[in-house]
Amino acid sequence: MKPIEIANYDVLPKVNYPSDIRKLNLAELNKLAQEMRTFIINTVALSGGHLASSLGTVELTLALHYVFNTPEDRLIWDVGHQSYAHKIITGRKEKFPTLRRKGGLSGFPKREESAYDAFNVGHSGTSIAAATAFAEAQCLKGEHAKAIAVIGDGSLTTGMAFEGLNWSGGRDKDLIIILNDNEMSISPNVGALSSYLNRMMTGDRVTKFKSELKTFLKNIPSIGEQIFKFSKQIEESLKTFVVPGALFEELGFTYVGPLEGHRLDYLIKNFENVKKLKGPVLVHVITQKGRGYKFAEENSPTYHSIAPFDVETGLTIPSANTAPSYTEVFGRTLIELAASDSRIVAVTAAMCEGTGLDKFRRKFPKRLYDVGIAEQLAVTFAAGLAIEGLRPVVAIYSTFLQRAYDQILHDVCLQKLPVIFAIDRAGFVGEDGATHQGLFDFSYLRNLPHMVMMAPKDENELRHMLKTAIGCGSPVSIRYPRGKGAGVPLDDELSILPIGRGEVLHDGSDLAIIAVGVTVHPALQAARKLADEGFQVKVINARFIKPLDAELFLSTAASVHKILTIEENVLDGGFGSAVLELLAQNGVKDVTVKRLGIEDKFVEHATQAELRSQYGLDEAGIIRAAKEMLEK
Ligand SMILES: Cc1ncc(C[n+]2csc(CCOP(=O)(O)OP(=O)(O)O)c2C)c(N)n1
């Protein structure tokens, strides 16, 4: 049997839309759940993707679509990485094997893809705000569709989710929040809310204790009854411990749960009741991340987002490229630096493994802070640490750092604090698509006074940049891409780079390419190939986006009258724009400048290589652009 061919299944072929599942009996529904798991596992084994979270929500998805009248009732998935089952039963089963591939299905819900995707998602914590808006709009329009947010216990720790709970709990509109609690973010969930949810899970023990206590007190002659009465008064304060969901009740929600999230009959029965409730309701569902696939159940962080893997062994397909990733080199170098500088601490927003800080945590457990999915908190927290004389290194993906723009401006830059931003997954991220591309950080950081900005040409330069950043004394960012390094040798000795100085890698007088970050090596290769064709192309590795190497760039403009800038960032406000501003401010004339980067648009999912080729940022694209200028 080829497990991704739908004809090989029994129930799956009968199901295209939620209306089909509503015709199934319980045994068929359970069979369907099993088949969907196999289908998801085997598809993700080929495409890569968010496996563990999607396996955890199969029954939840079926029960929600079974009971609610989707798509009229709005179902909003938080992050959307758990929505594969939802995709399969909402008209996208046949296309599911194209998941995350160029031109194929997105890995996240997307309104352009289906009427069943009520809101575009990818970043954590947005579902309650969106669902509240639908509930409010329904009310205003005099309509009665339900608004349902499905949010994980990890995502519930984001500031936005708390803000949403606070506001919507006080609004009295019909809103359903499904808390999908698997006790995990990517790694185990952190923080007081997580402990609270854990306590609720052990709440029945406390309830038992309370009832035993009552019996005991009542049986004490004469004073027993009085103590019992008094104990009733303090019951309210005990409530938090003994009534699951008291916190949510206090916030204005009717709390339902905790519900066992893998029993379809039970979920369906409870959702039927929930459907009849008025006002804000929070349904607490307990699920298991990775459910039904042994390896993912045992090690859900690894299977949270996984590259293509072998289903039998659970092992990812080894890459022919043995170079370390930028992330690994960052993590390793930070450990080296921290070993001799006790001021260095690291901050992550729930992405310890993803940012390469897991080894740092093992080595220096007290010097690693995981604040949960809370990028804003991470940045302001780092600002405070910097005031205390520490050197915080905040490692966050480019796309998620967008959340913390004001904190970077208001709390870090305005106070000129030595916070180091290690911006991972900058540039094209590939298969995660538009919500995750790291194509904006040059633009959103470049306008901030005091910010020093670097981008290494390869993993070795990243090491020196990290050393440089620690001693910089101002806010500083280093952005580097997802994936393998260039495979260059790594220097043992780390040196401090002169701030704001680039390097000339190849000389030439017909055209100057000023490249930055991951575009430098392809630019160099392009120049070598162009040399074979008789063109003399100068290649500069900018190293710094801010401050620019004004002296080098201006002298280059004076001698080479054609300049090509290259960056993996949007052009608006990016590196090439900075070069143009420099030339304009210095009254440079007679220079033609062309900028390679991303025109004013969002970039969809495809592999990084496909995107580099599509946007002309690989060697071939650079040669094309250079020739256009050279031949003019
Ligand atoms: C703002 C933001 N920060 C970080 C992430 C990366 N991220 C994706 S899923 C996830 C964990 C979410 O945990 P939870 O909501 O509990 O869902 P689960 O995967 O456990 O089902 C994280 C941190 C993100 N998508 N958005």
Residue 264 CB neighbours (<10 A): 20
Place of tokens 């256009």: 628
> CA distances (Å), 620 to each of 427, 454, 541, in order?
18, 25, 19
Residue 28 annotated among the catalytic residues of the structure: no
Smallest CA separation from ligand 1 atom 21, residue? 53
Ligand 1, atom 13: closest residue by C-alpha? 185
Q: What is the pLDDT of residues 43-102, one digit of tens each?
A: 999 999 999 999 999 999 999 999 999 999 999 999 999 999 999 999 999 999 999 999
Query: Do 516 and 566 form a contact (C-beta atoms < 8 A)?
Result: yes
pLDDT of residue 222: 59
In a shared domain, residues 88 and 128? yes
Are 473 and 510 part of one and the same domain? no
Query: CA-CA distance, 613 to 620, in Å (whole number)?
Result: 8
- Tokens matching residue 213: 């206590």
CB 131 within 8 A of CB 74: yes
Q: CATH code at 51? A: 3.40.50.970
The verdict on 376 and 269 lying in the same domain is no
**152 and 76 fall within a common domain:** yes
Cis peptide before 97 (omega within 30 of 0): no
Q: Is the CB of 11 under 6 A from ligand 1?
A: no
Q: What is the pLDDT of residue 233?
A: 54
424 CA distance to ligand 1 middle (Å)? 16
Q: How far is CA 271 from the centre of its chain?
A: 30
**Domain assignment of residue 486, yes or no:** no
Total domains in the chain come to 3
Question: Do 354 and 289 lie in a common domain?
Answer: no
Task: Please compute, for residue 111, the number of CA atoms within 13 A of its CA located in the half-sphere on the CB side.
Answer: 7
Residue 34 has which token pair?
């099993």
- Per-residue confidence at 225, pLDDT binned at 50, 70, 90? low
The reported pLDDT for the residue numbered 434 is 98
Taking all residues of the chain, what is their mean pLDDT, rounded to a whole number? 93
pLDDT band at 197 (very low <50, low <70, confident <90, very high): confident
User: Which string of b and e fits 122-157 if b means at least 16 CB within 10 Å?
Assistant: bbbbbbbbbbbbbbeebeeeeeebbbbbbbbbbbbb
CA–CA distance, 325 with 304 (Å, rounded to integer): 19
Q: How many CB atoms lie within 10 A of CB 498?
A: 12
The H-or-E segment that residue 205 falls in is helix 203-218
Ligand 1 contacts CB of residue 184 (under 6 A): yes
- Verify whether ligand 1 is closer than 6 Å to residue 403 (CB atom): yes
Cβ–ligand 1 distance for 287 under 6 Å, the answer no
pLDDT category, 226, cuts 50, 70, 90? low
Same domain assignment for residues 422 and 517: no
Identify the H or E element spanning 151: strand 147-152
CA of 185 to the centre of ligand 1 (A): 6
SS3 193: helix
Q: Tell whether ligand 1 has an atom less than 6 A from the beta carbon of residue 397.
A: no
Atom of ligand 1 nearest to the CA of 436: 25
**What is the atom index within ligand 1 of the atom nearest the CA of 151?**
15
What local confidence, expressed as pLDDT, does residue 128 receive? 98
- Quote the CA–CA distance of 124 and 185 in Å, as a whole number: 11
Omega prior to 71 cis, within 30 of 0: yes
Selecting among 403, 463, 467, 546, the annotated active-site residue is: 403
Q: Is 403 a catalytic residue?
A: yes
Domain of 573, CATH number, reads 3.40.50.920
- Residue 123 CA: nearest ligand 1 atom is 26
Confidence tier at 142 by pLDDT (50, 70, 90): very high
Specify the ligand 1 atom closest to the Cα of 153: 16
435 lines ligand 1 (CB under 6 A): no
* pLDDT score for 214: 57
Enumerate residues 6+ apart whose C-beta is below 8 A from 482.
325, 326, 327, 424, 425, 427, 428, 429, 430, 438, 608
How far, in Å, CA of 396 to CA of 383, rounded?
Answer: 15
- For residue 172, is it within any domain? yes
Q: Using a 6 Å cutoff on CB, does residue 182 contact ligand 1?
A: yes
Ligand 1 proximity of 398 Cβ (cutoff 6 Å)? no
CA-nearest residue for atom 16, ligand 1, is: 154
DSSP 78: S
Atom of ligand 1 nearest to the CA of 152: 15
Are residues 443 and 345 both part of a single domain? yes
Q: Is residue 216 part of a domain?
A: no
Cα-based angle 385, 390, 394 (whole degrees, multiple of 5): 65
User: Which residue out of 186, 187, 297, 399 has the highest number of ligand 1 atoms within 8 Å of its CB and is therefore the one to mutate?
Assistant: 186
Residue 109 has pLDDT above 70, yes or no: yes
Does any ligand 1 atom lie closer than 6 A to the CB of residue 380? no
What is the atom index within ligand 1 of the atom nearest the CA of 158? 1
Residues with Cβ within 8 Å of residue 288, at least 6 apart in sequence? 56, 182, 261, 262, 297
54, 79, 371: which to mutate for ligand 1, most atoms within 8 A of CB? Answer: 79
Is there a domain that residue 170 lies in? yes
Amino acid letter, 268: I
DSSP string, 233-277: HTHHHHHHHHSTTHHHHHTTPEEEEEEETT-HHHHHHHHHHHHH-
Rounded Cα–Cα distance for residues 572 and 440 (Å): 9
- Give Dmax (Cα) for the chain: 107
- Spatial distance between the Cα atoms of 95 and 88, rounded to a whole number of angstroms: 9
| 514 shares its domain with 403 | no
Q: Residue 221: what pLDDT? A: 59
Residue 552 domain-assigned (yes or no): yes
Per the rule left: phi > 0, alpha: psi between -120 and 50, beta: everything else, 389 is: left
Same domain? For 111 and 179 the reply is: yes
Last residue of a domain, one of 421, 446, 479: 479
**Range 217-225, long-range pairs (CB < 8 A, 24+ positions):** none
Angle (deg, nearest 10), helices 192-201 and 203-218: 60
Q: What is the DSSP letter of 520?
A: H
Q: Is the pLDDT score of 205 beyond 50? A: no
Q: Are residues 137 and 286 in the same domain?
A: yes
**Model confidence pLDDT, tens digit, residues 530-559:** 999 999 999 999 999 999 999 999 999 999
Ligand 1 site-directed mutation target among 55, 81, 124, most atoms within 8 Å of CB: 124
Least trusted range by pLDDT, from 57-71, 229-243, 583-597? 229-243
pLDDT of residue 239 exceeding 50: no
18 in any annotated domain: yes
Distance between Cα 373 and ligand 1 center (Å):
7
DSSP type of residue 318? P
Percent of the chain with pLDDT over 70: 93
Identify the active-site residue in 59, 353, 375, 567: 375
- Report yes or no on 471 lying in a domain: yes
The answer on pLDDT for 262 being more than 80 is yes
Q: Which is the catalytic residue, given 101, 110, 289, 538?
A: 289
Q: Is the pLDDT of residue 234 over 90?
A: no
Of 7-21, 232-246, 374-388, 510-524, the poorest mean pLDDT is in 232-246
Nearest to 395 by CA among 455, 460, 345: 345
Question: CA 214 to CA 341: how far, in whole Å?
Answer: 57
Average pLDDT over residues 161-188: 93
Distance, CA of 273 to CA of 256 (rounded, Å)? 10
pLDDT at 204: 53
Residue with tokens 């310890």: 352
| 186 C-alpha to ligand 1 centroid (Å) | 6
The answer to whether residues 570 and 449 belong to one domain is no
236, part of any domain:
no
Task: Judge whether 375 counts as a catalytic residue.
Answer: yes
When computed from its CA atoms, the radius of gyration of the chain, rounded to whole angstroms, is: 28
Cα of 154 to ligand 1 centre, how many Å? 6
- Give the distance from CA 460 to its chain's centroid: 26
Confidence of residue 441 (pLDDT cuts 50, 70, 90): very high
Q: Is the CB of 425 under 6 A from ligand 1?
A: no
Q: Is the same domain home to 569 and 464?
A: no
289 lines ligand 1 (CB under 6 A): yes
**pLDDT per residue as tens digits for the range 383-437:** 999 999 999 999 999 999 999 999 999 999 999 999 999 999 999 999 999 999 9
Query: How confident is the model at residue 125, as a pLDDT?
Result: 98
Using most ligand atoms within 8 A of CB, pick from 373, 375, 482 the residue to mutate for ligand 1: 373
How far is the C-alpha of 632 from the C-alpha of 620, rounded, in Å? 18
Residue 176 · residue 70 · CB < 8 Å: no
Of all helices (H) and strands (E), which one includes residue 411?
none
What's the domain range around 394?
Answer: 326-479
Asked whether 60 lines ligand 1 (CB < 6 A), one says no
DSSP 226: H
Q: What is the 8-class DSSP label of residue 447? A: T
Centroid of ligand 1 to alpha carbon of 496 (angstroms): 36
More confident residue, 171 or 233: 171
What is the number of residues in the chain? 632
